[in-house]
Structure 1
Amino acid sequence: MAAPMFVPFYHRVADTHPNDWTISRTEFERHVDYCQSRFDMIGLDELQRRVDRKDSPCPSVTFSFDDGYAENGEFAIPLLIERGIPCVYFVAIEHIRSQTPFSHDVDAGVPLPVNTLAQIRDMADRGIEIGLHTRNHVDFSKVTDLQTVHHEITNATEELQNMIGQRVRYFAFPYGLPKHLTRVAIDAVDEAGMDGFCSAFGAYNTVGRDSFHIRRFHGDPCFARFQNWLSFDPSKLRSEPMIPYTIGHGESKQDYGNEEVEAKLTCEALIR
């Protein structure tokens, strides 16, 4: 079976201080209702299993969040927990530890609150997968020295595991565009013992590809655009940028559209 696997990402669910990285509570719940009624709701571990075993019987959705905004603990995460919907929640640990707002919020004149460590631990204890989003929300297109990469990923992974008392399995690149997905940073994710990394440039997950790279798209507040991403478009496979990297025992990986997969993945596959 070769149904596509979708991973939307969000940043902040709130009804105050709207901006480009915020979706309202009403619209987020609409996203959840729509996905839960039409797709398998799975975790990233199950997504990887389906990719590796080339067995994806039904289209699926996995919710994810980046950064770590405090308001997510007031509505969005409790909603997902109440419904038993898997979610991976990526945090920049120094912002959590020091309670420092993100620079992009400070620059916008609205220093929004970030999650506390107690909130993150509570999420983890209640079944939310906590992932790493670097230590300081680093732009790896501007950082190349090994010491900084090690500090932001390898050391940060161990520290986050100690903070929550659980293994950290996944990493999400800040900004997540091809230029940010550098070989040295991907190497560090592998060396840190994580199971995979997430991009954010807009792409599908399909069977038979390398599951170490998990592709995501924006959970767009415009519902029509969100629906469009959840309707499989084979042309997006052909236009997807290649992200070459090496993991494990020197095994070279390169992500690109697969013609066989593309032929099998049709809009009809979305009809359950």
Structure 2
Amino acid sequence: MPASVVPVLMYHHVSPTPGLITVSPAHFAAQMCWLKRHGYTTLTLDALAGFLAGEPVPAKSVVISFDDGYLDNWVYAHPVLEQYGLHAVLFLITRWLGEGPLRPHAGQGNTPLPACLSHHAGKTAIDAGQTDLVMMRWSEVLAARDAGTFEFHSHTHTHNRWDKIYPGDADNKSKALAHDLASSRNLLTERLGEVSSHLCWPQGYYDDDYIRVAEAAGFRHLYTTEPGVVGADSMASRLPRIVVKDRGLGWFAPRMWAYRQPALARWYLGRKSR
């Protein structure tokens, strides 16, 4: 029987360095092992778009999404996904990615691993222009894509909140966002050879102007941080996702069961958002 709803799980960091929006490698590995052992299909965003258009997907379908493109996604998440043959989606902040050779990851024996900063320390490093300490390199993006562990989409070019930079100025806000999205699309096309119709909003913020500009730029599937599961009746311009916490299977497993039950998922996630 095909799925009636699809949960889109949301991760940021997978790292042994504790901090905000961070899941430990041990918990992430346990969660991915559980999905594999219980027969889940990890969808591409093209498959999710097909589901929205009425195409069937397997009953146990899930999207594993990551935001930003942190170095720890390569060092710790990539080898786990590769080990279990799972596929994830990564929304990249294109301006923050740099050049250089591949760095070691956790699937390479006893090779010393690069340090992965906490979320707070990473923000400080980015503000100081030291993005290579925090973010993936383009070489790592290509390696992960070729391995099939990640596909890559836009999280804008700068991660700026243009509504805050131009408060009350809808014209300049829209112009700045349009330039930002064009820069992201151009760089993704240059580096990956293509760009998709999928966009994730920085900090989950959007308004009617944001949606209009994004759709004019060629983005049709817009991802938020609003809690919920994606159903056939979901609006492509307001797709919900589910935050995954740094918790073990006693937390993860019952929620994954609930997220497959449309009424229960909507009730539970609606209750948690209040």
Instruction: Flag whether TM exceeds 0.5 (same fold).
Output: yes
User: Separation in 1 of the partners of 2:99 and 2:163?
Assistant: 25
Contact 2:228 2:241 in 1 (8 A): yes
Name the residue aligned to 2:174: 146
User: Separation in 1 of the partners of 2:66 and 2:229?
Assistant: 17
Q: TM-score, normalised by structure 2?
A: 0.74
Deviation at 1:106, TM superposition (A): 5.1
Name the residue aligned to 2:121: 105
Contact 2:3 2:61 in 1 (8 A): no
Contact 2:19 2:118 in 1 (8 A): no
Name the residue aligned to 2:10: 9
User: Separation in 2 of the partners of 1:207 and 1:59?
Assistant: 15
User: Separation in 2 of the partners of 1:166 and 1:3?
Assistant: 30
Q: Which runs of 4+ in 1 moved over 6 A?
A: 108-111, 238-241
CA 1:104–1:151 in structure 2 vs 1: closer, same or farther (change >3 Å)? farther
Cα deviations by residue, 1:64-88 (Å, 9 ceiling, x for unpaired): 1111111211221132234332211
Q: Secondary structure at the match of 1:19?
A: coil
Deviation at 1:209, TM superposition (A): 3.0
User: Separation in 2 of the partners of 1:11 and 1:221?
Assistant: 11
Aligned length: 236
Contact 2:18 2:118 in 1 (8 A): no
Aligned-CA RMSD value: 3.0
Contact 1:3 1:57 in 2 (8 A): no
Alignment of 1:1-272 (within 5 A): 1-15=2-16, 17-38=17-38, 39-53=40-54, 55-97=56-98, 104-105=120-121, 113-127=134-148, 128-143=150-165, 144=170, 145-176=173-204, 180-223=205-248, 224-230=250-256, 231-232=258-259, 234=263, 237=266
User: Separation in 2 of the partners of 1:6 and 1:95?
Assistant: 28
User: Separation in 1 of the partners of 2:227 and 2:177?
Assistant: 24
Greater mean deviation of Cα atoms: 138-147 or 103-112:
103-112
Q: Secondary structure at the match of 1:222?
A: coil
User: Separation in 1 of the partners of 2:48 and 2:9?
Assistant: 13
Q: Which has the higher contact order (CA 8 A, sep 6+)?
A: 2
Structure having the higher helix fraction is: 2
User: Separation in 2 of the partners of 1:98 and 1:207?
Assistant: 40
Unmatched 5+ stretches in structure 1: 242-272
Contact 1:2 1:54 in 2 (8 A): no
Contact 1:199 1:216 in 2 (8 A): yes
Name the aligned partner's letter for residue 138 of structure 1.
Answer: N
Q: Secondary structure at the match of 1:75?
A: helix
Contact 1:8 1:61 in 2 (8 A): yes
CA 1:7–1:196 in structure 2 vs 1: closer, same or farther (change >3 Å)? same
User: Separation in 1 of the partners of 2:51 and 2:22?
Assistant: 31
Contact 1:10 1:66 in 2 (8 A): yes
User: Separation in 2 of the partners of 1:209 and 1:30?
Assistant: 30
CA 1:186–1:159 in structure 2 vs 1: closer, same or farther (change >3 Å)? same
User: Separation in 2 of the partners of 1:57 and 1:11?
Assistant: 26
Q: TM-score, normalised by structure 1?
A: 0.74
Deviation at 1:28, TM superposition (A): 0.3
CA 1:121–1:40 in structure 2 vs 1: closer, same or farther (change >3 Å)? closer
Identity score, percent: 20
Deviation at 1:142, TM superposition (A): 1.9
Name the aligned partner's letter for residue 7 of structure 1.
Answer: V
Q: Secondary structure at the match of 1:168?
A: coil
Q: Secondary structure at the match of 1:74?
A: helix
User: Separation in 2 of the partners of 1:24 and 1:49?
Assistant: 32
Greater mean deviation of Cα atoms: 108-117 or 126-135:
108-117
